[in-house]
């Protein structure tokens, strides 16, 4: 049985999720697998979720899950009662659906977000190297990754800006064209400023200047995006040299005013155009700035419509993505079911064939039959008899596997006294 224990943004705040991170996840995965009750294990830890995927025996599931939660509680230093309130539990098909949706970006804070695919793949690679992933989770995670790639190829669920910060950079690109030759001034180094700076970096913006009231924080952000920090009071000095200004700062009154900008730009700006995008709340740029010659001003109201349209588009594309996931999941479940049940069936046939041969030899000796033609007929009869007797049980086993009925599979192993080869 595949199970998933998930703590995510659905039930926990970001600080709470940070407290649920397991610092020594490698050691924890080894500990879980060493006990024997967990056959395979993968930890997925990101800023918005902590998840544990395991393969375990159906019969011991409840006890094993409780042991995992206790170990998680101890490692993270949070109470078991609190952990139980936050953690969502998925098993069997539900666990597969959750993982496939997650990897495709359908479970993210931002619908269609790309980053989670790499995080899932990295978690798999880490566990694979550690030796806590073998055949089952290996197949499951690789299928989830490949399905996500198909979703991203055949849908637009990850396209378009769904945050004001990313929409601001999209708007800048529409106004100025390719940003690779653009000099940009970013005012503010908070969360919105950091997202904006990263988007500017990804678009290959030629120069990124970061002005923040706390210079050290501006310096830190500038270093992350290969930019340059400037003092907050030097903003007006650099205006003649930049093509783009994005304000993402918390202020009580505008910090960029029309009269001052007019005087600065009149000195040595020439005919070059200046695009100003204000995503601050309250506004950090005077509305009159948009009336200045050669200056184009956009604010949050201009960007909200872009964001809302993109969200609607992603939601439509998410429905297409769900259909793809359903197709791939159905196909994969059949493959996984055969993978799980065929070793049992093969062992049943091997044991039956061993018994048939022994009894056939004994019967031929008893009747003293030496006619080869008759011996062949008796041999064929005994083989067909065993196959006919076993036909219905085998069909039921395969159907049970497709229905994820581990109880019947375990019963068959006990009845026929066969065991699957361990997958770990």
Q: What is the pLDDT of residue 268?
A: 65
Lowest mean pLDDT segment, chosen from 56-70, 87-101, 205-219: 56-70
How would residue 424 be classed by pLDDT, with cut points 50, 70 and 90?
Answer: very low
The answer, yes or no, to whether the previous bond of 167 is cis (omega within 30 of 0) is: no
47 has a pLDDT exceeding 90:
no
Contact (Cβ atoms closer than 8 angstroms) between residue 7 and residue 76 = no
Choose, from 4, 33, 41, 47, the residue flagged as catalytic.
47
Which of residues 185 and 158 earns the better pLDDT score? 185
Residue with the two structure tokens 């155009």: 273
CATH number of 164-308: 3.40.50.720
How far apart (Å, rounded) are the C-alpha atoms in residues 245 and 183?
A: 9
What confidence tens digit (pLDDT) does each residue in 23-37 have? Answer: 899 999 999 999 778
Pick the CATH number of 2-154 from 2.60.120.10, 3.30.460.30, 3.40.50.2300, 3.30.465.10: 3.30.460.30
Domain ranges of the chain: 2-154, 164-308, 341-415
How would residue 411 be classed by pLDDT, with cut points 50, 70 and 90?
Answer: confident
Q: What is the pLDDT of residue 209?
A: 98
What confidence tens digit (pLDDT) does each residue in 17-26 have? Answer: 989 999 899 9
Helices (H), 252-299: 258-268
Short-list 421, 344, 334, 335, CA closest to 390? 344
Per this entry, what is the length of the chain? 424
Query: CB atoms < 10 A from the CB of 423, how many?
Result: 16
Lowest mean pLDDT segment, chosen from 57-66, 145-154, 205-214, 406-415: 406-415
- Mean pLDDT (whole number) for 212-231: 96
How far apart (Å, rounded) are the C-alpha atoms in residues 121 and 126?
A: 9
Task: Give the mean pLDDT of the chain.
Answer: 90
Short-list 289, 196, 193, 282, CA closest to 236? 289
Contact (Cβ atoms closer than 8 angstroms) between residue 260 and residue 232 = no
**Pair of tokens at residue 147:** 């399905």
- Mean pLDDT (whole number) for 113-117: 86
Contact (Cβ atoms closer than 8 angstroms) between residue 211 and residue 235 = yes
What confidence tens digit (pLDDT) does each residue in 366-400 have? Answer: 998 888 899 999 999 999 999 999 999 888 888 87
Please determine whether the domains at 2-154 and 164-308 fall in the same fold group of CATH.
Answer: no
Distance of CA 411 to the CA centre of its chain: 35
The question of whether 47 is a catalytic residue gets the answer yes
Contact (Cβ atoms closer than 8 angstroms) between residue 136 and residue 55 = yes
108 has a pLDDT exceeding 70:
yes
* pTM exceeding the 0.85 threshold for the entire prediction: no
In the chain, what is the greatest distance between 2 CA atoms, to the nearest angstrom? 118
Residue with the two structure tokens 């930049």: 242
């Amino acid at each position: 049985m595949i199970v998933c224990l998930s703590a995510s943004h659905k039930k926990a705040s970001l600080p709470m999720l940070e407290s649920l991170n397991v610092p020594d996840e490698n050691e924890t995965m080894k500990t879980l697998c060493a006990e024997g009750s967990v056959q395979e294990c993968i930890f997925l830890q990101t800023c918005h979720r902590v998840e544990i995927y395991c393969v375990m025996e159906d019969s011991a599931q409840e006890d094993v899950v409780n042991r995992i939660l206790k170990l998680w509680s101890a490692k993270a230093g949070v109470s078991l009662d609190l952990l139980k309130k936050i953690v969502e539990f998925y098993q069997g098909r539900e666990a597969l659906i959750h993982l496939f949706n997650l990897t495709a970006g359908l479970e993210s804070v931002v619908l269609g977000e790309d980053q989670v695919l790499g995080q899932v793949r990295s978690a798999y690679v880490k566990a694979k190297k550690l030796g806590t992933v073998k055949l089952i989770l290996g197949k499951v995670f690789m299928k989830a990754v490949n399905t996500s790639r198909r979703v991203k190829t055949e849908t637009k669920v990850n396209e378009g800006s769904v945050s004001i910060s990313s929409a601001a950079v999209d708007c800048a690109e529409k106004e100025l064209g390719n940003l690779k030759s653009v000099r940009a001034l970013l005012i503010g180094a908070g969360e919105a400023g950091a997202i904006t700076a990263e988007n500017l970096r990804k678009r290959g913006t030629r120069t990124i200047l970061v002005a923040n009231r706390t210079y050290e924080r501006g310096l830190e952000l500038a270093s992350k995006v290969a930019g340059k920090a400037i003092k907050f009071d030097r903003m007006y000095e650099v205006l003649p040299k930049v093509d783009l200004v994005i304000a993402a700062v918390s202020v009580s009154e505008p910090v960029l005013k029309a009269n001052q900008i007019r005087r600065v730009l009149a000195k040595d700006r020439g005919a070059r155009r200046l695009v100003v995008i204000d995503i601050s709340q309250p506004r950090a740029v005077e509305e009159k700035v948009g009336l200045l010659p050669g200056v184009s001003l956009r604010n949050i109201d201009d960007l909200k419509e872009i964001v809302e349209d993109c969200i609607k588009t992603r939601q439509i594309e998410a429905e297409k993505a769900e259909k793809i996931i359903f197709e791939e999941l159905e196909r994969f479940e059949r493959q996984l079911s055969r993978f799980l049940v065929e070793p049992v069936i093969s062992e049943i046939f091997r044991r039956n064939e061993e018994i048939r041969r022994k009894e056939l030899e004994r019967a031929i000796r008893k009747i003293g039959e030496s006619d080869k033609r008759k011996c062949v007929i008796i041999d064929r009869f005994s083989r067909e008899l065993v196959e006919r007797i076993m036909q219905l049980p085998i069909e039921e086993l395969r159907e049970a596997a497709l229905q994820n009925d581990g109880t019947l599979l375990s019963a068959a192993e006990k009845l026929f006294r066969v065991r699957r080869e361990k997958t770990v």
